[in-house]
């Protein structure tokens, strides 16, 4: 088999690597490596420096790491610290309508998103139960489509504002 000349450009290596790994695998690997006891602080600092030089800013993450302000999510109404606010932190459950008989079980439809779920047999649980909405927490009421995801406003949920929860005041219209 004839040989093809190899590339000597190190810029090709990341492209080749990224073509062979999923975003989820890369995320998992980076998380595992950066949280390992075997990874030194110097190695993590070198990674952060390299990412910054490539134009990937960590400024918001640095700020979140130092911030101890307890926030209130206007979507799911949980308290959180920004450093713990991940892509699956805010979860809203489906609001199931009354079921209709479907085969041996019942089928239910979410009043908000329209997703269906089937109960195998009455009292035996559901197949493929998922969340109506999963994302990051937010303090901005304008980020929430209350009808689309069956979320309650802070006022409907009975949230009480305090000094660290300016978002609740905004959500209740008491600017």
pLDDT in tens, 75-128: 999 999 999 999 999 999 888 777 776 667 788 888 888 888 877 666 666 666
Q: What is the pTM of this model?
A: 0.69
Query: 82: closest CA among 90, 52, 45, 32?
Result: 90
Q: How many CA atoms lie within 13 A of 132 on its CB side?
A: 20
Spatial separation of the C-alpha atoms in residues 63 and 85, rounded to whole Å: 13
Residue 78 located in a structural domain: no
> For residues 81 and 73, what is the distance between their CA atoms, to the nearest angstrom?
10
Q: Is residue 125 part of a domain?
A: no
Domain assignment of residue 100, yes or no: no
Range of the domain at 42: 12-57
Percent of the chain's residues with pLDDT above 70: 82
The pLDDT of residue 95 is 82
pLDDT of residue 57: 92
Query: Does the structure show a pLDDT above 70 at 168?
Result: no
Number of domains in the chain: 1
Average pLDDT, integer, range 26-40: 90
Q: What is the pLDDT of residue 125?
A: 66
- 43 belongs to a structural domain: yes
Residue 167: its pLDDT value, please?
43
Q: How high is the pLDDT of residue 174?
A: 41
The answer to whether position 4 is within a domain reads no
Q: Does the residue 16 lie in any domain?
A: yes
Using DSSP bridges, classify how beta strands 79-80 and 90-92 pair: parallel, antiparallel or unpaired.
unpaired
For residue 85, the model assigns a pLDDT of 96
Residue 73 lies in a domain: no
Alpha carbon dihedral 7, 11, 14, 18, in 10-degree steps, equals -80
Q: For 152-164, what is each residue's pLDDT tens digit?
A: 999 999 998 754 4
Residue 44 lies in a domain: yes
Q: Across residues 2-25, what is the average pLDDT?
A: 83
């Amino acid at each position: 088999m004839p040989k093809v000349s190899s590339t000597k450009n190190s810029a090709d290596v990341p492209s080749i690597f990224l073509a062979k790994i999923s975003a989820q695998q890369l995320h998992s690997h980076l998380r595992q490596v950066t949280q390992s006891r075997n990874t030194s602080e110097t190695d993590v600092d070198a990674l952060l420096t390299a990412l910054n030089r490539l134009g990937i800013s960590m400024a918001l993450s640095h700020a979140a790491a130092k911030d101890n302000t307890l926030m209130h999510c206007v979507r799911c109404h949980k308290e959180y610290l920004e450093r713990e606010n991940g892509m699956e932190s805010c979860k809203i459950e489906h609001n199931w309508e009354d079921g209709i008989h479907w085969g041996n079980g019942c089928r239910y439809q979410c009043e908000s998103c329209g997703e269906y779920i089937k109960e195998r047999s009455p009292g035996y649980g559901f197949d493929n139960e998922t969340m109506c909405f999963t994302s990051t927490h937010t303090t901005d009421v304008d980020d929430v489509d209350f009808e689309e995801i069956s979320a309650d406003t802070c006022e409907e949920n009975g949230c009480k504002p305090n000094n660290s929860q300016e978002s609740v005041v905004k959500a209740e219209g008491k600017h």
